A = this chain, B = another copy of it.
Amino acid sequence: MLTGEFKYSLDEKGRLNIPQRVRQSITGNIMIITRGIDKCIWLFPPGEWSSISKNLIDSSSMFLEKTRLIQRRILAPAQEIEMDKSGRISIPQTLREYAGLKKDCIILGMLKYVEIWDEEMYAGYWDENETKFQDAAEKLGDKITFKAE
């Protein structure tokens, strides 16, 4: 899956175009859509999803609280969706509400999956988290450097 940050709009019928650059790295026209962590939607190619969901299911009994939390939040909202011939998806209503999608959306290619944000929510996310990001970056400082050549 490629990376990239794109801006597209939901049309009148609630369809969202997936950029060609992202689509070309997916085989077939099926994706798995689910709630992300933070107020965004996650889109997985079927293969990636099955390995993730298998990990989530493996350690699961409905009688454990932790299992129910994970299942309800990540696993349950997952649905297979199809991209139409021109590469658009329809986002299920509950997910649209969760992510607060109105019209303008930001689509993020995350190598193995895709995130969909409402544009304003995404701006809000960075307003709140820029500092945390700076800290996280600081901690990477020791590990990640350009090697002298």
Question: Which residues of A are at the interface with B, using a C-beta cutoff of 8 A?
Answer: 2-7, 21, 35, 37-38, 48, 52, 55-57, 62-63, 65-66, 68-79, 92-95, 106, 108-113, 115, 126, 129, 132-134, 136-137, 140, 143-144, 146
Contacts and interface: CB of A to CB of B under 8 A. Distances in A.
**Copies of this chain in its oligomeric complex:** 2
A124 to B, nearest CB: 13
B110 A71 contact: yes
Given A3-B77, A5-B94, 13 more contacts: A3-B78, A5-B92, A6-B92, A7-B94, A37-B63, A56-B144, A70-B137, A72-B108, A72-B115, A73-B133, A75-B111, A76-B115, A112-B146
A52 to B, nearest CB: 6
Contact of A37 (B5, B37, B137): B137
Q: Give the interface centre of A4, A38, A75, A79 by most chain B CB atoms within 10 Å.
A: A4
Q: Give the interface centre of A62, A109, A126, A137 by most chain B CB atoms within 10 Å.
A: A62
